[in-house]
Structure 1
């Protein structure tokens, strides 16, 4: 994300979307009632010849809409903002949908930019420079290729060997390792490390072939042994801290680590509170060292005062993505948890 202009008096921030991750950040930044201004396309219905069957041609224009619903479309790499037109050359009061993707520029106007939302903007800018990871988790007859993004682990492909007896998603009779190498080549981005993991020796065979067929793509590759393959193997790798020199600094690794720390403290009745009521009590006593909040809870706009109190007492606030496995675990204990500086009195 790139911030192009800020006007605090008008309550506006102008931004350019640079990655799919930026759309996820915008999904968490935009609230119902915000005014979103961007270039879009709309038909000029007033000039439509009602006798003719064809509809008027869509024209490019700048519209501002008051957001009523926001949808993040991961598979389409799009963000949809649905609402009514409040600014523009035509159709004021009519409904319209802004469809935003990589490269688009938009202005978000809010009545109140809270510290938590401004922090999300700052994080979106910083996250552009943080490492992404391409995972290949495989065993002898099955492989999953996935990308660690800021919003979660995005599965890119699931490939089966013809001999596995399962539906083979690639061309019939294709070479298993060759298909994986080709898909990695299509999915890899410059500077993004490739982490190859799983049980057995399939990962070594893949890396050997990858360096032979596509040496430039596989030159920044790392191998790790895990007890499982697939998405479960990726979660195992991050949970246990294996490959820390590669995954360190990624959002996925950080959120996984801190949620696992919370669960460890719960298991040993340690320095932790979880659930809204207990965490509120800890924050009131200035005991919160690190506050973890699920991003769906933040979007409900009920947690801002708690986050502000923790930050005012020099605590750290981490917003955890619902799409990480760590987010699902945090949701299971109420969506809010805190690592404490000291034990609370009974």
Structure 2
């Protein structure tokens, strides 16, 4: 994400979406009631004849829409903002839908920007330069390819080796690896880490084969052993902290590591608390070392007092995505939790 500018006159911030992940950040920043201005298409206002209007070509124009409904599509990483036109060359007061995707510029005007929202924009800018991680979780039968986005894991493809029973000894393994490599080619960019994991030795065989066939593609490959393959294996890798030096640089790795530490403290009745009131009291008392909040909670409420109190006392604030296992685990605790400096009486 790139911040293009700020305008104190209407309390707006202009941004450009540069990666798929920026759509998720935007979804967590825009609220109902915001005025969002962006380039869009709409039929020109020329005739009252409905039939003629329907046949008119759509023209590109800049409209400001007061947001009434927000939709996020994970499949195409696109945001739909539905609302009433307040700014623009025509149709003031009528409804319109802004379709926002990677490459678009837009301006967001709010009555008041929450600290969590401005911090999220700043984090999105910083995270744009960090490479995503591609996982291949495999055994001798199946391979699952997934991408770590800033908000969570996304499964991309599953490839089957077609090995079975007596045919196993005669089956050519090159087709299996070749199909995996062909799926990876359009996904991996320069300096993007590739993590191979799973039980058995298939991951090592793929690493060796890949380095010979596509050395540039496998130039930054990491191999880890897990008890399971598939998405379960990737979550196992993340939860156990395997490859922590690599994963700690990712946003999701930071979130999962923090939630794992939280659950460990809760399990031994240690320095942790959860629940909105309990966490707010701890934050106001200066007892919070790390504040954990599920991002969907921030979309629906104002918790700046909790965040500000934590940061004022040099505490750390981690907003956890609801899209991965750690976020779901935190959500089961009410969406708010904290690692404490000391036990509250």
Under a length normalisation based on structure 1, what TM-score does the superposition of the two structures give? 0.93
- The residue number in structure 2 matching 1:63 is 63
> Offset of 1:230 from its aligned partner?
1.0
Name the residue aligned to 1:237: 237
Q: Distance in 1 between matches of 2:274 and 2:85?
A: 42
Q: Is the 8 A contact 1:21 1:149 kept in 2?
A: yes
* Alpha-carbon offset, residue 49 of structure 1: 5.0
Q: Is the Cα–Cα contact under 8 Å of residues 135 and 197 in structure 2 kept in the other structure?
A: yes
Pairs within 5 Å for 1:279-290: 279-290=279-290
Q: 1:168 aligns to what?
A: none
Matched residue, 2:344? 344
Shifted more, 57-66 versus 314-323: the winner is: 314-323
Quote the offset at 1:21 in angstroms.
Answer: 0.7
1:282 and 1:330 mapped to 2: Cα distance?
17
Q: How does 1:163-178 map to 2 (within 5 A)?
A: 163=163, 175-178=175-178
- Structure-2 change in CA distance of 1:46 and 1:291 (3 Å): same
- Gaps of at least 5 residues in structure 1 are 166-172
State the match for 2:170 in structure 1: none
**Residue equivalent to 1:207:** 207
Question: Helix, strand or coil: the match of 1:216?
Answer: coil
Match of 2:4 in 1: 4
Query: Aligned partners of 1:248, 1:266: CA distance in 2, in Å?
Result: 22
Equivalent in the alignment of 1:92: 92
Unaligned runs of 5+ in 2: 166-172
CA contact (8 A) 1:321 1:327 kept: yes
Higher mean C-alpha displacement, 191-200 vs 230-239: 230-239
- Once residues 179 and 218 of structure 2 are traced to their aligned partners in structure 1, the CA distance between those partners, rounded to angstroms, is 15
| 2:117 matched residue in structure 1 | 117
Q: Is the CA contact (8 Å cut-off) linking 2:45 and 2:90 kept in structure 1?
A: no
* Counterpart for residue 169 of structure 1: none
Number of the residue aligned with 1:272: 272
- Please list the CA deviations of residues 205-245 of structure 1 after superposition, one character each: whole Å capped at 9, or x if unmatched: 11122122211111111111111111111111122121123
Q: CA deviation at 1:162?
A: 2.2
Partner of 2:180: 180
1:327 maps to 2:334: no
Aligned partners of 2:114 and 2:302 also within 8 Å: no
Structure 1 vs Structure 2 CA RMSD: 1.8
Query: Which consecutive segments of 4 or more residues in structure 1 shift more than 4 A?
Result: 48-54
Deviates more, 1:140-149 or 1:173-182: 173-182
Asked if the contact 2:38/2:105 (under 8 Å) is kept, the reply is yes
3-state SS in 1 of match to 2:329: helix
In structure 2, relative to structure 1, the CA distance for the partners of 1:174 and 1:315 (3 Å cut) is: same
Is the contact between residue 131 and residue 249 of structure 1 (CA under 8 Å) also seen in structure 2? no
Q: Which residue of 1 aligns with 2:40?
A: 40
Following TM superposition, by how much is the alpha carbon of 1:9 offset from its aligned partner in structure 2, in angstroms?
3.5
Q: Which range moves more in the overlay, 101-110 or 173-182?
A: 173-182
3-state secondary structure, aligned to 1:215: coil
Aligned length in residues: 338
Alignment of 1:189-204 (within 5 A): 189-204=189-204
CA distance in 2 between counterparts of 1:317 and 1:235 reads 23
The 1-side partners of 2:53 and 2:89 are apart by: 25
The structure-2 alpha-carbon separation of the partners of 1:342 and 1:57, relative to structure 1 and needing over 3 Å to count, comes to: same
Aligned pair 1:106/2:106, yes or no? yes
